[in-house]
Amino acid sequence: MLVKKTSKTTQGNKALKTMAVECVLATSRQNNRIASHRKRITKRQGKMKGRIASAHLLLTIAYNILKTGEPYHELGSNYLEEKQNNKELKMIEYLKKKGYTIAPSDQQTA
């Protein structure tokens, strides 16, 4: 059962928040990291929390661009799934190095 998490935004620049949310909504039809982040959060926590969380992600990306001076490289909408798959493959390789034998199973466990 999914339960909405409670959260409260702090007092800040209302114009910046509005602009960030508008930018997030502009990316909603695109196939990128910010749009997939908003959709993923919205499923669990609702529309407004998804918008604010994605606006926070967008501002974090902008801050890191300004801090490092490096251009932004889009990670893609399926970045988290690929990261999870790579993590599983690394775990399997680690277990094989330790001497365990890994056999693929047809059933998926929860």
- In 3D space, the residue among 50, 37, 21, 51 whose CA is nearest the CA of residue 79 turns out to be 37
Give per-residue pLDDT as tens, 84-95. 888 888 888 898
Give per-residue pLDDT as tens, 60-80. 999 999 999 999 888 877 777
Residue pair 4/45 in contact by the 8 Å Cβ criterion: yes
Give per-residue pLDDT as tens, 11-43. 889 999 999 999 999 988 888 888 888 998 999
pLDDT of the residue at 59: 94
Which DSSP helix (H) or strand (E) runs through 86?
A: helix 79-97
pLDDT of the residue at 106: 65
Inter-CA distances, 74 with 23, 33, 61, 71, Å: 16, 7, 10, 10
Burial 74-104, CB ≥16 within 10 A → b, else e: eeebeeeeeeeeeeeeeeeeeeeeeeeeeee
The percent of residues above 70 in pLDDT, for the chain, comes to 89
1 has pLDDT over 90: no
Alpha-carbon distance 6 to 40, whole Å?
Answer: 17
pLDDT of the residue at 48: 92
